Chain A
């Protein structure tokens, strides 16, 4: 399946700053990428669907002005957490959709800690 990387793997920032997380599809041109968030001891929650060259589609309850998604190329999508606060501390995971049945392949995740 597709190989997906994320950068950084972990980041610590101060409250009020913005953080950018990169998701790269290393061996596949991904028209569609997805962003998830996972709080400790909870399941993954879909945040948004990112389609190359168009605006991302956000799930209900996810603030699009706070979580900025850019999918400018077929191999890169970025998630920017703007004005981060401690409640934004979480594990952020991206995935790419591949194949006739749209199997998703996930990145290793980014651990964000906001102080």
Chain B
């Protein structure tokens, strides 16, 4: 059974750095055709892809976030970590950890339950 679980703070202050951890089970982070990524969804709005990482450590980022994102993985811990610097109230959203499938065509076939992060002073 594939599961992904997000953990991290529920409240961050403006200018702080958000660090979210995704712990996975039911699949291997060494599978060449699978990866793990992050998607966020502000309340009442569409999802926004942030980043993902594959087993060979190839990473892809949403460039609209202008270098604020970093994704990394610890295969031994079955964890993927996302950091987002210089948080702003507009970054308030539910952050989802997702399993990424495919190489040329990329889809998100399993999602975590999501973690609501609020940015406020």
Q: Do A and B come from one complex?
A: no
B interface residues (Cβ-Cβ under 8 A, vs A): none
Residues of A within 8 A of B (CB): none
